[in-house]
Structure formats: structure tokens, C-alpha cells
Amino acid sequence: MADLTGVRISTEWLRRLERAEDELKPECSSCPVLSGALFRRFSMEQISRFTCIFRPARYRRNQVLFFEGGAAQHLFALRSGLVKMVKPLANGKERIVRVILPGEIFGLEALNEAHYPLTAVVLQGSEICSIGRDEFFVFLRANPDIALEMVLVLAGEIAALGAQMTSLSFKDARTRLATFLLSLVPLGQALSSGKCSLTLALSSQEIAEVLELSSETISRTWRRLEREGLLEKHGRQVVIQNLPALESSARG
């Protein structure tokens, strides 16, 4: 084992860090995480250094990535699939607090907290990359240019998230549901006809929890969007019939 800046890490990991290539790995070239807002300020060379430290893995539906109160030891990046963040309740049930979408980094509590505040559960088969907290800190110390960019971008992301939450709280049920559905549409899936199909990983009740609506309100909103010809819903199968119109609804 090697010891760098007070953190013990494997010599194998240090060798991988030193061998960072100047170009992206083939499996990273189409990664939605790297095309997200977090990396827009980064150069290709910086991104190549960053991607070399993450370890990819596949997860099955209902696998738990970490528990509330568990030691916060890893950061995660969702390449494909869906993950839900839940708060276990005293009655044995759970409250869905947030749904992680492809392209998002989560488990960031590991950067400054000893324990995770929520439980992360895989909603459908997913590809997820992860890195240990200690390794991440070593990487940032060894790459101050990337560390500075991440501080600036994350500060902007926090401000944007706060504004988004405030904005969502003032939106009606129709706008909230339209916004949620659009977030589930994979990039490039919409056809020239303006249609696309989705298989919901969440039930209507779970979607209502995420959007902070009652189950009755979410049911009425589904029916309203169907009457307007924006979508067709059969169980968890949803066909968006008019994507531009749904986008207009999301804007309120």
C-alpha cells in the first residue's frame, strides 16, 4: 500500500492514475455523465484524466447501492438505468425523495459526511460507475486544475438545483408531470414524428411521491394529458404522442 497526502491507497490505483490517456476510453465516448453540465467546462484532456479513476459495473433491479446511516465511502455516476433515493419510514414503508437519471452523479455526501442520509436503490438494470472517497480526494489533490473546475461547476449546480426546486414548487400538477416525463426521455429517442415510448420504473403512486402530489391528483393529471392527446398510458407503458406539446406543457 502507498500513502499519499495522508490517505492510504493501492499502488495499482496509482499506476492507473499515472497511465491516464489523452483520449477518452471507447466505453466513455458516449457516456451521458460526461456530456452533462458538470463537465462542460472541462477540456478533453481533463476529462480523460477524470474517467480513468471510475470503475464501471452493472447492477440489477432492487440492488441497494448504499443504506441510510451507512458509511459514506463512495461516489457514483449513473451511465444508464434509474436509481431512486429513499427515506425509510417508521412504519416500514419508504418515501421516495429523488429519482437519479442517466448522466447524474450522486452519493456526493461522501465528500463531507461520514454517513449517507438516504438509501439508494436500483430501479431497473443500470450501468453505474463508482470511485472510493479517499481515491477521489487523492485524485483532486494531484489534479488541482480539475479540482478548481469542479468547485466552480458544483457551486453553480447547487444554485441551479435550488432554483429548480423553488420553480417546481410553484408549478401545477400538469406541468410537474410533463417535466418529469420529459426527464425520462433518452437523448435521441424521439422520432421525427414527435413520438416516443417509455416504460415507467415507478408506479403512479411513487411518481406522486416524487412530485409531492396526491395519488388522486396524479391520476386526474394522467387522464387530462391523455384527453389532450399528448400521451397514451397502459399500465407502466407510456407512448408520448406529441413531444413538442409535452415540452410546451412542461414550460407551464
DSSP string for 167-187: HHHTS-HHHHHHHHHHHHS-T
Q: Which amino acid belongs to residue 140? A: L
- The percent of residues above 90 in pLDDT, for the chain, comes to 27
User: Do 109 and 16 sit in the same domain of this protein?
Assistant: yes
User: Do 7 and 106 sit in the same domain of this protein?
Assistant: yes
The CA-based angle 107-87-150, given to 5 degrees, is 20
User: Do 36 and 146 sit in the same domain of this protein?
Assistant: yes
- Which of 167, 184, 212 is the last residue before a domain boundary? 167
Contacts for 95 with CB less than 8 Å, ≥ 6 apart:
86, 87, 89, 209
Yes or no: say if 41 and 172 are a contact pair by the CB < 8 Å rule. no
Yes or no: say if 2 and 10 are a contact pair by the CB < 8 Å rule. yes
Q: Name the band, by pLDDT with cuts 50, 70 and 90, for residue 3.
A: very low
User: Do 104 and 226 sit in the same domain of this protein?
Assistant: no
User: Do 98 and 57 sit in the same domain of this protein?
Assistant: yes
CB atoms within 10 A of CB 139: 21
User: Do 52 and 152 sit in the same domain of this protein?
Assistant: yes
Three cell numbers written together for 116: 449517507
- How does pLDDT run across 53-65, given as a tens digit for each residue? 788 899 999 999 9
User: Do 178 and 158 sit in the same domain of this protein?
Assistant: no
What's the pLDDT at 197? 87
Region of 69 on the Ramachandran plot (φ > 0 left; ψ -120 to 50 alpha; else beta): left
User: Do 129 and 200 sit in the same domain of this protein?
Assistant: no
Please give the C-alpha separations between residue 67 and each of 105, 117, 119, in angstroms, as whole numbers.
17, 8, 4
Averaged pLDDT for residues 132-140:
90
Averaged pLDDT for residues 43-71:
86
User: Do 198 and 123 sit in the same domain of this protein?
Assistant: no
Averaged pLDDT for residues 163-185:
75
- Which of 142, 167, 192 is the last residue before a domain boundary? 167
User: Do 106 and 84 sit in the same domain of this protein?
Assistant: yes
| Domain enclosing residue 21, as ranges | 2-167
- How does pLDDT run across 10-34, given as a tens digit for each residue? 555 445 444 444 455 666 767 777 7
- Which of 139, 167, 195 is the last residue before a domain boundary? 167
User: Do 81 and 202 sit in the same domain of this protein?
Assistant: no
Question: Which of 20-24, 98-102, 112-116, 203-207 has the least mean pLDDT?
Answer: 20-24
Q: What is the CATH number of the domain that holds 117?
A: 2.60.120.10
Three cell numbers written together for 72: 459514506
Q: What is the CATH number of the domain that holds 179?
A: 1.10.10.10
Average pLDDT score, the chain: 79
Contacts for 212 with CB less than 8 Å, ≥ 6 apart:
none
Domain count for the chain, please give it. Answer: 2
User: Do 21 and 134 sit in the same domain of this protein?
Assistant: yes
